[in-house]
A = this chain, B = another copy of it.
Amino acid sequence: MEIARPYLLFLGDVPDALAAKTAIGIVDWRKDWCLGQVRLEGCAADTGVPDMSIPDGASAGAKTMIIGAVNAGGLLPDRWVASIVEALDAGMDVASGLHAKLGDIPAIKEAADRNGRQLHDVRHNTMTFSTGKGSKRPGKRILAVGTDCSVGKKYTALAMDKAMSSRGYKSSFCATGQTGVFISGRGVALDAVIADFISGAAEWLSPETDEDHWQIVEGQGSMFHPSFAGVTLGLLHGSQPDGFIVCHEPSRTTMRGVDTPLPTIQQVIDATVQSGQLTNPDIRCVGIAVNTSALEDDEALAYLAKVGEQHGLPATDPVRYGMDAIVDKVSAEFGEP
């Protein structure tokens, strides 16, 4: 799906910043796409962009109102419906990352039809994909992979995209999850695709491009997670990365939500190279991104130095220490921009 911009961010009346994390993530990475935020009475979150009414947002040129708030169960509160209808009547599309589908609510469906506007439910997939072809496409790709789910793959890919661009590379971010789709304006929640089309969807989201253009692909799951490894493998085959970054969270002992022990970083490197060679024989690891937030600064630096030396690769915490070390590795392996 392709989401028209600029955005107006709808926060509703969420009780805290955590419930607005989707909107906050969009502002973190794409502040210039966000004209303003709409907050209802009682809203306790603030993304930092100007407060606006829905008509003012429309007048300012907003093309899509993003429901940038979550709540328990992913439901759409009845009290938000009037605002969504107002946005559609004002000529905007509406996009949501909630589990509840916008089009399932009659008032919203009718308003969209009446105004000829689009509803985007990014957690649900309505696109049709081809099955994966497996043939090599022009362009260069880097995939974030992980020792587990929720270890910073999206952040790492976004930080890598930003660092590559600032170093003069042609670079773009390819989203495979819901917040990522808002941040890229295009993409697909890969875990919502029908199983037969995982690698085909991954091919669609990292399509043929210029030979010197780098697509930085958001990862999903882990090859070693018993719930989600199929998604991870289909994404690996479809995105056919030239390089990959292993993301790791050192305080985990078991995989998220299950009793399976965490794999080692080396196991992830080996499995990714072995499986990734099917669609890119030259695949290689270009770095390790560690979430060191549980460690003091000296501990974090010592840990990263140790991990880097063990694997002969740059190791960094993207939040604390940036991605320059991994961009250096890409330059050394694949050439300067």
Contacts and interface: CB of A to CB of B under 8 A. Distances in A.
A109 B127 CA distance: 25
A83 to B, nearest CB: 30
A199 B230 contact: yes
Interface string A264-291: 0000000100110011000000000000
Contact of A229 (B228, B237, B255): B237
Interface stretch (A132-140, A158-166, A327-335): A132-140
Interface stretch (A71-79, A178-186, A189-197): A189-197
A235 B196 CA distance: 12
Given A274-B271, A278-B224, A195 B231 contact: yes
Q: How many subunits of this chain does the assembly comprise?
A: 2
A259 interface: yes
A221 B164 CA distance: 37
A198 interface: yes
Range of interface residues on chain A? 35 or more
Contacts of A225: 134
A238 B231 CA distance: 13
Interface in A229-260: 229-235, 237-238, 255, 257-260
B230 A134 contact: no
Interface string A53-90: 00000000000000000000000000000000000000
A193 B191 contact: no
A271 B229 CA distance: 14
A194 B196 contact: no
Contacts of A135: 258-259
Contacts of A234: 195, 229-231
A228 B132 CA distance: 8
A226 interface: yes
A230 B194 CA distance: 11
Contacts of A224: 278
A231 B194 CA distance: 10
A202 B90 CA distance: 46
Interface of A: 131-135, 190-196, 198-200, 223-235, 237-238, 255, 257-260, 271, 274-275, 278-279
